[in-house]
Amino acid sequence: MNNPNGDPTPRTIEQVRQAIAALREIFDAKFYGYDKAIDLLQEASNRQPTPGTVDERLTALKEIVEIRFHELDVRTNALALSNKNSIDLALQAAKEAAAKSENAVSKQIEAISAQHSQAVSSLETRINDTKEQVITIVAGGQGSRQSYGVIYAIAGISISFVGVMVLIISKVI
C-alpha cells in the first residue's frame, strides 16, 4: 500500500504516534530510574560524613577524653591524699598503742621483779632458819635421825625455791 503522492497514510501516522508514545514511556521510565538512583546516591552521600564533620567529631571526642582524664587525675590525687592521711593516722595510733603496751609490759616486769625479790628474801630467811637448826642439831650432838630430818627439810625448802623460781621465770617469758 503505497501512497502515490508520498504522504504517509493515517495508519503510518498512528504507528509513528504509538512508537513515539512507547519511546516516551521508555524514556520516562529510564529518567524516573535515573532520578531514583540520584536520590539514593544523594541520600547515601548525606549519611556519609564529610571530612569537615569527621574533624569536628574527632575534636569534640578529644576534648571529652581530655576532660575525663583530667577528672580522673583529680580524683586519683584526692584519693591518694585521703589514703596518705589514713595511713598517717593509723601509724600514729599504732605508735600510741605500742607505747601503752610497752608501759604495761614494764609495769608487769617491775611487779614480777618485786615478787621475785620478796620470794627470794622469804626463801633466804627459811634457809637461814634451817641452817641454824642444823647447826644446833649438829652442835648439840643429837642423833642421826634428827640429822636426816633436817636434811629432808633443807631438800624440801630447796625444791620449793626451785619451783618458785620456775614459776617466776615462766611469767616473765
pLDDT digits (tens, 9 = 90+) for 126-167: 777 877 777 776 666 555 556 677 777 778 888 887 888 887
Whole-number Å distance between alpha carbons of 4 and 72: 100
> Which residue has 593516722 as its cell numbers?
89
Whole-number Å distance between alpha carbons of 5 and 22: 28
For the entire predicted model, the pTM comes to: 0.36
Mean pLDDT of the chain: 81
Query: Which pLDDT does position 139 carry in this prediction?
Result: 65
- Provide the grid cell at 38: 540520584
- The residues near 16 (Cβ < 8 Å, ≥ 6 apart) are 8
Query: Which pLDDT does position 147 carry in this prediction?
Result: 65
